[in-house]
Structures are given as structure tokens and as C-alpha cells.
Amino acid sequence: MMGRVTLRNLAAHKIRLVLTAVAVILGVAFVAGTLIFTDTMNGRFDQLFDKIGKDVAVQVRGTALGEGTDDQGEKERGPVPAALLAKVAAVPGVKNATGNVTGYAALVGRDGKIVGDEGQGAPQLGINYTPGALTAIVSGRAPAAGGEIAIGDAMAKKTGYQAGDRARVVTTSGVQPVTIVGVMDSGDMMGATTVAFDTATAQRLMLKPGYFTDITARSTGVPEDVLRARVARVLPAGTEAITGTAMRAESKDAIASFMGFFRALLLSFALVSIFVGAFIIFNTFSMLVAQRTRELALLRAIGAARAQVTRAVLGEALAVGVVGSTLGIAAGAGLAALLQGLIGSGGGLTVTATPIWVSYLVGVLVTVVSAYFPARRAAKIPPVAAMRDDVALPQRSLRVRVAAGALLTLAGAALIALGLGGDGGNPAAIVGAGAFGVFLGVTLLAPVISVPVVKVLGWPFTKLFGATGRLARQNALRNPRRTAATAAALMIGLALVTAVDVLGSSMRASVGAQIDQQFGADYTVSGTGGGGVSPADAKRVAAVPGVRNTVPVYVGKALFGTAKGNSSYIAGDVAALARAARLDMISGSARAGADGVLLDKKTAEKRGVAVGGTLTAAFADHSTVPLRVSGIYEKSDFLGGIIAPAKVYLAHADKPVVDTLVIDAGGATKAKTAALKNAVKDNPALKVQDKQAVKDQVNGQVDQFVNFLTILLVMSIVIAAVGVVNTLALSVTERTREIGLLRAIGISRLQLRRMIRVESIVIAVFGALLGMGIGVAFGAALQNALADDGLDVLAIPGGTLAIYLAIAAAIGVLAALWPAWRAGRMDVLKAISTE
Amino acid sequence: MTNTAPPTADAQPAPGADDVAASAHRIAKVYGRGDAQVIALDAVTVDIPRGRFTAVMGPSGSGKSTLMHCMAGLDSVDSGEVYIGGTDLTKLKDKQLTRLRRDKVGFVFQAFNLVPTLTALENITLPMDIAGRKPDREWLDRVVDTVGLRPRLSHRPTELSGGQQQRVACARALASRPEIIFADEPTGNLDSRSGAEVLTFLRDSVTEMGQTIVMVTHDPNAAAYADQVLFLTDGRIVDTMQRPTAERVLERMKGFELPGAMAR
């Protein structure tokens, strides 16, 4: 059977296949890790929501504002009157009806920082104490009066707080001095923290006296949908009842949809890794086939059919794919466990069948498909090649390749343009497909590009190392297809990293320019995490010497005009805000009056209103107000699309929260900054920023974004580096005879290793240059497409690109280490006499 | 391509069809184009008698290897017909040609005869393995014993000497009882003793087992093992010799070596 030939070949080329398998393992690990991690997280959240909503049969809540959701996928709901609790409790079949208050309350730790605020997006929850699964007291007692709280056990462990300790809690009503009277059995809340007050205090601090966020009830045994219907009959307008199952499902769906987005993001980067891996696999099998031309021709001569030769090669690929996928899945599980540990969540992984079979499918399919073309070429080896010395695989003309490459590149570029233009159904998919096309196209073109570029890149080495340098350059030029395919693998990763960097530096430059242009205030003081600036904080800020004026800015949500979902709007002293944000008025005036509203151009067009027209606003308290459009302004990056007077917000907010305080201090100085920071030092959730601090914050966010994406792309660069090692190792084997000859006529080991190293550097730098070229083009295209959304400055990070070039050269040096060592170790006589 | 060669060979009387294992009829093969054009075979017609050992000789570039490749179905011809056991190879598609090579033809090459990752025995049975056939144990034993390789059957090619490797190749060619065996300079890489062993073995397989063998060689000593020798120059058969000896072959070769070389 040919199966034996396959198996023996696998055994004979272990190292090469191991390197190939590494490409599969890394790609599959990425896929499996992503799937397992998101599955695990989903599972943990499901458990959490099941625990939170345990035994709840019916939930009563305010009806949602509008039918749809806002741009964050959320619905806005008003609170329910506390008087409703008695009515619900009286419904037959209802047991343990409970009024709940949920809001923002952040515990300040012993280090003066907010507990659980590590930027992972988990909320700091404040609740009213009610007996339940999460609130069972494990030590101390339940909070009973103002100034008393209970905290979760995980928080207690983290902070070292115990029942009886004094602490501070940041709420929307300012910083509260409290005594911790109890610790609750909340367990792992996926990073969220819980502070429980007694009900009256919770209402006062976080909501509105006489109201609950929602009411939940258990059932005496009545089916929940029956109970829901009974409860619904006693509810007033503006409230609704849902079953416990529906309530839990909503929470789960919200997390699942976020996880789905996160998963899609990670998978798209995994796809890049796999795409790069496919190049490596293709290249390795091409070289293995080329090296075994005579052997395969012999098989053909003695009667193996073409299909049998193809199958023998594909069999090897299949084995590599299966083994690589298996190890990749294991590595992926490790990766998921690592990630889980990193975000501080314990409790084991959720491994379902889906990640396993998807990983196998991806790993095996990619390996086999990548090896298919080399396998087909293997089958085309004429049997007569077994008897010729000058064997060469049939090569198709480069002319066809260049034409196809140019066509693919252009088609890819056109797709990208189409996708970025926003036409078509799924822009991200269209742009992705376009990038895919460009990569393939440039790869096809790369052999032609490589010849002049490699000549130039190799030139300094020929001057530096003489004959060794010339040999190295010639070696890199010898098989342009192979050089190109190896470089292309590196190209992809670097192209994407470069595009991200171009995007990042353009963001920094654009936002920097916007801040310079639009940030007209001396300082802003704003709350993080939802607490806002309390009246007490505002008073302290206003008292700082030099502060001339403070303008509170509110952020509200309302349903404007005929929109389905609610929108955020900014409220405050409209004229002062317009000054502070240096609004560019197109028509009308920034003097809005009591019922006026300012819109930006885009919003006005979308809502179809002009200056003097009316825009109705519906609020979560079920009231509707007509607002008069008094002015229209050019896009503002700070104030968004809708600005209303403070009165509009204050009249409809349950618990008004000042999001930001805009401060006029007659110019920013160090002393004023220090004085302001000192004034709010009691509240660690507040930050004082001048223009530079806002810039720094934006830059920090951009850096975080760039770093995150770069880390995701590093995997593909590692895979490409493995590919360079593989190519060089195979080239060395292929040139055994020649290397023997060079050694025989007196080239030293050192020179030989240098020769291989230089070849490696030249290939790696060529790949990097290709990638950076494409990356800059991609980045510029993205910037151009986003110019209207505020990304109006294109900045190319020259320094970063120079560093990448140096890194590419370093990858070249590292990749050459092992192949060069092997070449140097070859026995001269044996090398010459090798077949 | 001038003088010297009396074009008698092309007009050789064909033996009766039953006695012919393979034949070529006016086959031609040209490599390259324009100035680089090389006529490798120039309307060659030849019959390979069944059960006999035929040597093909000629100077380098005479087309002897091309003739063999074309007759064995390894290479295509530009015109003419090639028959093995009554089948016209030029009419076959790749699949049928592969099957024919597998079932009816055995090969021994100058070098790289064996799959390096398989043992000697696995190499011998490879053609049958490829075909999915069980080897005839009795016949296989006989072949293995004749080649004298029994103790080394489980060795890989790299663990065998050059002569042993060629004997394994011969055994592989014989094992599937092909209609005809083509050997391309089978002793080209061997020292004279190993070469003699291989040639003796080939000779014996013709005498004792009735095998048909065609061997390309440039070594008069090797040709002397054959029943007849065909001489090729410039893509044409220029002479044949029955019951050759090394001296007579050498003598004949001298006659056209120089002019042939100059014509290139």
C-alpha cells in the first residue's frame, strides 16, 4: 500500500513535519482557545444569572422606552413605585415578593482605590439588602440603617475588610462614610462587586425614595406563566411583568451577544494566523515534494497512478493536520485556562464538543487544502524524471502568475474600497475578503518583486562579506517562488500590525487636533464608573481659589422624534457648553432657552428638522416633551449630536447625576491642578483633567487598542517565523551537496553560517517591507474611510516601522540559527557523496 | 548526423509477432526548438525479441536512453508507434499507461532505484502493493534466493551496498513477472565486481526464467552479457550484433564514436 510510503515519509521527515505542525498547532490553539474561553465565560455568566435569579417566577419592571435598543444594545426603563409591592404580594400564588434597588456603589479599599475597578468593565453594584442566594450573611449581620453596609465575600477577601471595619463608599450621592456590618456569600461575581444597603438608604442614595428598580416574586407552586398573567392584571400603565425564565434569559442573552462579538473578533484574528499557517504548510509540502521528485517519479515509473501519488502526499498532510489539531486543542485549552486565570476567575473550563470538532475541522482542512497543490504537482512529475539527473518540477510560467496576481490584488483593493464605502451587506466581511485577495495577489506577484528587492537588500552584504554575501544573495534569488512564499507569510502579519499602527497614530493625531480645536474649558472633573460628580463634590470644586465658573453636564437618554430606540443626549447650560466645546454653529443660535435643543448637522438631517422646527422627546418616566430646535452645529466630538438645557434632564431623571463638571479657571496652571485634585481627593472615582490630561487619556486608550490588536497578531508573526526556519532548514538539506562542495573548497563553518544567516535576513526583511507597504496602504484606506467619523488626519508612524524592520532582521537571524548550525555540522565527504 | 552509419538496422526483418515482446515503429522524438533543437530519435524501428537479453549501446547523446524511455512508456514520442505485448502505448491515456507499466514492465535504473524509507523487501513488493495485489510467495522466494538477499531483506537502502541496492532493484523488477524489463545503465554506478554480479543475475533470469530484458549501457563488458546488441548513433539504429563479446563491441563502438561526437 502507498499508505506505508506515507507513514515512512512522515517518520523520515520528522523535524520538518514538526515545524509544519507548529504552524497548525498555533493556529488551532488560537481557534480552540477562543472557543473554549468564550464558552467558559458564557457558562460562568449563565451560572451567575441563574444564581441571581434563582427561584424568581415573576419580575415586575418599568416598560422600556421605545421598541428598539440604543447603540449600546440597551433599553431605558423607569423605576416602579414602591406601593406596587403590596399589590403584587397580594396576588394569589405569589410568595416572597421583594422590591429591589440596583445602582452604582463602589467600595473604596484600604489603598484608597475603588475595589474591582481594574478596567475589565465589571460593574460596581449597589443593592438594597434582601434575603436571597447572593446575600446570605456569612459573618456579621445585615445592614439595617443608614451608614451600614454588607459586602461580598470575594471583596472582603481581596480588601481584608471584616465586619466592624469602617470604610467609604462612592455613590451617585457622593462619598458615604460607612461601617461594614456583614459579609455576604456572593461568591464569584465575574469581577463585579456588591455593596448592600438597607432598602431606605439604597433608595435615597441610588434611586429615589418610594421607588424600586424592580420587584421580583416567587411562586407558591403556580406555573410561572400563569402567575405572570395574574400579576400583570394588577399592574398600572408603564409597568410590565415577565417570567423568571424570561428575565434570566435576557441577562444571559445580553452577555452572550457581547461574548459573540468578542468571539468573532478573536476568531477573525485566529483566521489570520491560520491563513499564515496555510502558507507555511504549502511551502513545506512544496519543498518536500521537490526534494522527493526522483522518489515520486520512481513510484510513478513502477506503476503508481497519479491519484496514488497525490493521496500519498495528502496522507502526510492529513496526519500532520490531525496531530497538529490535537496538540493545538490541548494548547488552546491551556490558553483559555491562562486567560481565565488572568482575569481572576477560577472554576475550571467548559469544554463542549463544538470547539473540538471545529478545531479539528479547521486544522485538518487547512493542512490538507494547503498541501493539495503541492500534492497535485507531485502527481504531475513525469516518471522519466526518475532517470534524469537534472530533475525539475514542471513550473508554470511566471507570466500567468503575474497576471493573476495583479488581477487579484486589484480585485482585493476594489473590494476593500467597496466595503469601506459602506455599500453592501456586511462591510467587515467585504473588507476582510478584499484584504485576503490583496494578500494572495501580492503573494503571487512577490516572486517578481523579490528579484530586484532582494538584489538591493543583499547588496550591502556583498560589500560586507564578499563572496559569502554574494552566495547568500544568489541563494535568496535562486528560487524566487520559495523566497516569495516564505516572505509572504511574514508579510501578512506585519501588514496587519502596520495597518493597526497607522490607524492608531492617525487616531492620536486626529483626536489631538480635535482636542486642541474643541476643548475650550480649562478643566473638567468627571466621574468614572457611573457615580458622577455629587453636589458635595461640585461645591468643593467651586470653592477652589481661581475657579470662576463651573458648568454641570448631564448625560440622559430619551426617545427623540420617531426613532425606535433611545438616544443619549447631553444636557446643561447650552450656551456655556457651546463655548466650552467651541461649537461651530451652522444656523440658528446657541442660546437655546428653556425648551430649546441644539442638534448637529447629521442628527438634524436624520430627524428631518431645521431651526425653528420641533423635536419631541419621550422619557423613561412616560412623559413626552416637545423641544424647539434653536440651532444646528457642525459635528462635535465632545458633545455628540443632541444638546438640551439642564432643565429638560432634571425634570425627568429619577436620580440626577452630574456626568462632568466643566470648569472655567482663567487658564490651567500646575497649582490650580493640584488644588483641584486635592479638593476631590476623598472620591477616588473622580478625575480632574486639563487639555493635556484628556489627550493623554485618549492616547492611553489608543495605545491599549493598538497593543491589544498587536498581541492578537503576534501569533501570526510567530507562525511566519517558524516558516522562515522551515524554509531555510529545507534549503540547507536540498543544497547538501553544494554545501559539501563549498566546504571542500575551503569555506569555513563561520562563513557558511553567515551565508545562511544573510539569506534569512534578506528574506525576512523582504517580507517585512512587503507587509509594511501593504499595511500603510490598508491603514491609509481605513483612515480615509473614517475621515468623516473624526479620523481626519493620516499619520504614518515612521519610528515604529523602523523598529519593525529591525525586528524582522532579528527574526531572520533567529530563524537561521538552527539551519545554520545544521549546515555547519555536515560532514564534508558525506555531503558531497549524497544522492 | 552524416555518413558512417549504414541504415541497415531500420530494415531488419521483424521476427514473428509471438516472438516479439516489444517493438517500436518509426518513432521520433525532438527536444527543444530552433537552434537548440536536438533530434533524439529519428524514425527508429526496432523489435525486442521475447525471452532474450538485448543491449542498446551508443555514445553519449545517441538517443539510447530516450529510446528506452519511449519504449517503456515513461516518455512520449512525437510520432510513430510503440508496442508492448500487442498494445500501442502511444494510444494510451496516462491512467492506462500507468497500469501497463505497473503490470507489464519492470525497471532497473542507474541510481535512485529504491524508495529510501522502505526496507529491501518492501521495495521489492512495492509495485504489487501499489496495484493492491498479493505477491506470489513462491515466485518471490525464488527471486529473493536467486538475488541472494535473504539476510538483508529488512534493511533500508542506505544500509546496503551499491551492488546490493541494484540487486534489490532487479528483484523488484522481476517480482511482478513483467512482460519485459528495462534496465538503464544498471551497472553504471557500480564497481566491476558488483557490476558483474548484477549482470550475471540479469543473464540468469533470461536463461533460466525466460525473462525479456532490454538494457541500455555504454560499457562493452556489460553488453557482452546480452544476446544481441543494438547500436545507436544520432537517434538511429546503425547496427546490430548477435552473440556479442566485449572485444567485438568495443571495436564496433570505435567506428562511430568520434564522428557522432563531433556532430553534436
Q: What is the pLDDT of residues A228-244, one digit of tens each?
A: 999 999 999 889 999 99
**Segments in A466-595 forming alpha helices (H):** 467-478, 480-518, 535-542, 574-580
Q: What is the distance between the alpha carbons of residues A524 and A638, in angstroms, rounded to a whole number?
A: 12
Cα dist. A643→A595, A646, A744 in Å? 11, 9, 83
User: B172, A8: Cβ pair inside 8 Å?
Assistant: no
Strand partners, A555: A570
Confidence (pLDDT) at B38:
82
Confidence (pLDDT) at A824:
81
- Kindly list the residues from chain B whose CB atom is less than 8 angstroms away from the CB atom of residue A4: 118, 122, 129
Chain B interface includes A311 (CB < 8 A): no
Query: Which residue from A12, A299, A306 is facing B94, i.e. has the nearest CB?
Result: A306
Q: State whether residue B107 is helix, strand or coil.
A: strand
What's at B81, amino acid-wise? E
What's at B183, amino acid-wise? A
Chain B interface includes A376 (CB < 8 A): no
User: B98, A306: Cβ pair inside 8 Å?
Assistant: yes
Q: How many CB atoms lie within 10 A of CB A562?
A: 8
Average pLDDT of chain B is 82
Locus of grid cell 540479469: B202
Q: Shortest Cα distance from A830 to chain B (angstroms)?
A: 12
Strand partners, B180: B105
Chain B interface includes A830 (CB < 8 A): no
Mean pLDDT for A560-564 is 81
- Kindly list the residues from chain B whose CB atom is less than 8 angstroms away from the CB atom of residue A2: 129-130
Q: Shortest Cα distance from B22 to chain A (angstroms)?
A: 17
Beta-strand pair B87-88/B79-84: antiparallel
pLDDT band at A33 (very low <50, low <70, confident <90, very high): very high
Chain B interface includes A300 (CB < 8 A): yes
pLDDT band at A98 (very low <50, low <70, confident <90, very high): very high
pLDDT band at A473 (very low <50, low <70, confident <90, very high): confident
Q: What is the distance between the alpha carbons of residues A54 and A60, in angstroms, rounded to a whole number?
A: 15
- Kindly list the residues from chain B whose CB atom is less than 8 angstroms away from the CB atom of residue A1: 129, 132
Q: What is the pLDDT of residues A440-465, one digit of tens each?
A: 899 889 888 888 888 898 888 888 88
Cα dist. A678→A106, A337, A685 in Å? 20, 42, 13
Q: For residue A357, how far is the Cα from the chain centroid?
A: 25
Confidence (pLDDT) at A388:
61
Mean pLDDT for B199-223 is 90
Q: What is the distance between the alpha carbons of residues B210 and A272, in angstroms, rounded to a whole number?
A: 63
Residues 378-417 of chain A whose Cβ lies under 8 A from any Cβ of chain B:
382-384, 386-387
A454 within 8 A of A731, measured Cβ to Cβ:
no
Q: State whether residue A390 is helix, strand or coil.
A: coil
Confidence (pLDDT) at B16:
45
The CATH architecture of the domain made up of B9-117+161-166+173-263 is 3-Layer(aba) Sandwich (3.40)
Closest alpha carbon to B184 in B50, B47, B70, B38: B70
For the four alpha carbons of A242, A245, A247 and A249, in that order, the dihedral sign comes to negative
Confidence (pLDDT) at B2:
39
Confidence (pLDDT) at A242:
93
Q: Shortest Cα distance from B189 to chain A (angstroms)?
A: 12
Which residue out of A302, A388, A733, A834 would a mutagenesis test of the B interface target, given it has the greatest number of B Cβ atoms within 10 Å? A302
Closest alpha carbon to A302 in A379, A383, A375, A381: A383
Nearest CA in chain B to A11: B117
A741 within 8 A of A709, measured Cβ to Cβ:
no
Q: Shortest Cα distance from B44 to chain A (angstroms)?
A: 19
What is the residue extent of each domain of chain B?
A: 9-117+161-166+173-263
Residue A537 clears pLDDT 70, i.e. is over it? yes
Chain B interface includes A9 (CB < 8 A): yes
What's at A798, amino acid-wise? G
Residues with Cβ within 8 Å of residue A587, at least 6 apart in sequence: A610, A611, A631, A632
User: A303, B130: Cβ pair inside 8 Å?
Assistant: yes
**Segments in chain B forming alpha helices (H):** 64-71, 94-104, 120-131, 137-147, 162-175, 192-209, 220-223, 246-263
Q: Shortest Cα distance from B3 to chain A (angstroms)?
A: 30
Residue B262 clears pLDDT 60, i.e. is over it? no
Q: What is the distance between the alpha carbons of residues A169 and A176, in angstroms, rounded to a whole number?
A: 5
Confidence (pLDDT) at B264:
36
Grid coordinates representing A694 are 484628556
Residue B49 clears pLDDT 50, i.e. is over it? yes
Closest alpha carbon to A760 in A495, A488, A486: A486
Q: What is the pLDDT of residues B101-133, one digit of tens each?
A: 888 888 888 776 787 778 888 888 888 877 777
| CA dihedral of A150, A155, A157, A159, whole degrees rounded to 10 | -100
B163 within 8 A of B190, measured Cβ to Cβ:
yes
Q: Shortest Cα distance from A386 to chain B (angstroms)?
A: 7
User: B184, A302: Cβ pair inside 8 Å?
Assistant: no
Q: How many CB atoms lie within 10 A of CB A250?
A: 15
Confidence (pLDDT) at B213:
94
Q: For residue B31, how far is the Cα from the chain centroid?
A: 21
Confidence (pLDDT) at A723:
84
Q: Shortest Cα distance from A309 to chain B (angstroms)?
A: 10
Confidence (pLDDT) at A361:
94
Strand partners, A175: A170
pLDDT band at A200 (very low <50, low <70, confident <90, very high): very high
Residue A276 clears pLDDT 90, i.e. is over it? no
Residue A831 clears pLDDT 70, i.e. is over it? no
Confidence (pLDDT) at A344:
67
Q: What is the distance between the alpha carbons of residues A280 and A284, in angstroms, rounded to a whole number?
A: 6
Rg (CA), chain B: 18
A820 within 8 A of A759, measured Cβ to Cβ:
no
Cα dist. A81→A64, A125, A172, A207, A231 in Å? 16, 21, 20, 11, 15
Which DSSP symbol is given to B15?
P
What's at A664, amino acid-wise? D
Residues from B contacting A (CB-CB < 8 Å) are: 65, 69, 74-75, 94-95, 98-99, 101-103, 106-107, 109-118, 122, 126-127, 129-132, 172, 184
Locus of grid cell 530563524: A815
Closest alpha carbon to A622 in A73, A68, A79, A71: A79
Confidence (pLDDT) at A158:
86
Least confident of A4-13, A93-102, A617-626, A658-667: A4-13
Locus of grid cell 527508429: B44
**What are the φ/ψ torsions at residue B240 (nearest 5 degrees)?**
-135, 155
Locus of grid cell 563531433: B262
Q: What is the distance between the alpha carbons of residues B205 and B146, in angstroms, rounded to a whole number?
A: 9
Q: What is the distance between the alpha carbons of residues A672 and A665, in angstroms, rounded to a whole number?
A: 8
User: B132, A1: Cβ pair inside 8 Å?
Assistant: yes
Q: State whether residue A68 is helix, strand or coil.
A: coil
Q: What is the pLDDT of residues A604-633, one digit of tens each?
A: 888 888 888 888 888 888 888 899 998 999
Q: What is the pLDDT of residues A284-338, one digit of tens each?
A: 888 888 878 878 888 888 888 888 888 888 988 999 999 999 999 999 999 998 8
Q: What is the distance between the alpha carbons of residues B115 and B108, in angstroms, rounded to a whole number?
A: 13
Locus of grid cell 522518489: A295
Chain B interface includes A291 (CB < 8 A): no
Strand partners, B105: B180
Q: How many CB atoms lie within 10 A of CB A460?
A: 11
User: A304, B102: Cβ pair inside 8 Å?
Assistant: yes
User: B117, A9: Cβ pair inside 8 Å?
Assistant: yes
Angle of helix B162-175 versus helix B137-147 axis, rounded to 10: 150
Confidence (pLDDT) at B4:
39
Average pLDDT of chain A is 86
Q: What is the distance between the alpha carbons of residues B55 and B185, in angstroms, rounded to a whole number?
A: 10
Least confident of A418-427, A458-467, A621-630, A698-707: A418-427
Q: Shortest Cα distance from A377 to chain B (angstroms)?
A: 15
Q: Is residue B115 packed enough to be buried (19+ CB in 10 Å), middle (13-18) or exposed (0-12)? A: buried
- Walk across the sheet containing A239-243 and list its strands: A94-100, A214-219, A58-62, A239-243
Which DSSP symbol is given to B2?
-
Locus of grid cell 400579576: A231
Nearest CA in chain B to A305: B98
At CA B261, angle to CA B256 and CA B263, rounded to 5? 100
A385 within 8 A of A297, measured Cβ to Cβ:
yes
User: B75, A299: Cβ pair inside 8 Å?
Assistant: no
- Kindly list the residues from chain A whose CB atom is less than 8 angstroms away from the CB atom of residue B102: 302-304
Q: Shortest Cα distance from B148 to chain A (angstroms)?
A: 22
Closest alpha carbon to B106 in B56, B174, B23: B174
User: A302, B126: Cβ pair inside 8 Å?
Assistant: yes
Which residue out of A14, A387, A833 would a mutagenesis test of the B interface target, given it has the greatest number of B Cβ atoms within 10 Å? A387
Grid coordinates representing B26 are 518509426
3-state secondary structure A331-382: HHHHHHHHHHHHCCCCCCCCCCHHHHHHHHHHHHHHHHHHHHHHHHHHHCCC
Residue A422 clears pLDDT 90, i.e. is over it? no
Q: What is the pLDDT of residues A741-782, one digit of tens each?
A: 777 666 778 888 888 888 889 999 999 999 999 999 999 988
- Walk across the sheet containing B79-84 and list its strands: B38-49, B20-31, B79-84, B87-88
Confidence (pLDDT) at B7:
39
User: A12, B130: Cβ pair inside 8 Å?
Assistant: no
Long-range contacts of B9-16 (CB under 8 A, 24+ apart): B9/B46, B9/B230, B9/B231, B9/B236, B9/B237, B9/B238, B9/B239, B9/B240, B10/B43, B10/B44, B10/B45, B10/B236, B10/B237, B12/B45, B12/B46, B12/B47, B12/B240, B14/B47, B15/B47, B15/B49
SS3 content of chain B, % helix, strand, coil (to 5): 45, 25, 35
Confidence (pLDDT) at A68:
67
For the four alpha carbons of A712, A713, A716 and A717, in that order, the dihedral sign comes to negative
At CA A545, angle to CA A544 and CA A546, rounded to 5? 110
Mean pLDDT for B145-170 is 85
Closest alpha carbon to B99 in B78, B124, B127: B127
Count of H-run helices and E-run strands, chain B: 8, 10
User: B117, A5: Cβ pair inside 8 Å?
Assistant: yes
Closest alpha carbon to A563 in A74, A65, A62: A65
Q: State whether residue A77 is helix, strand or coil.
A: strand
Q: What is the pLDDT of residues A334-376, one digit of tens each?
A: 999 888 887 766 677 888 888 999 999 999 999 999 999 888 8
Q: Shortest Cα distance from A273 to chain B (angstroms)?
A: 33
A26 within 8 A of A273, measured Cβ to Cβ:
yes
Confidence (pLDDT) at A85:
92
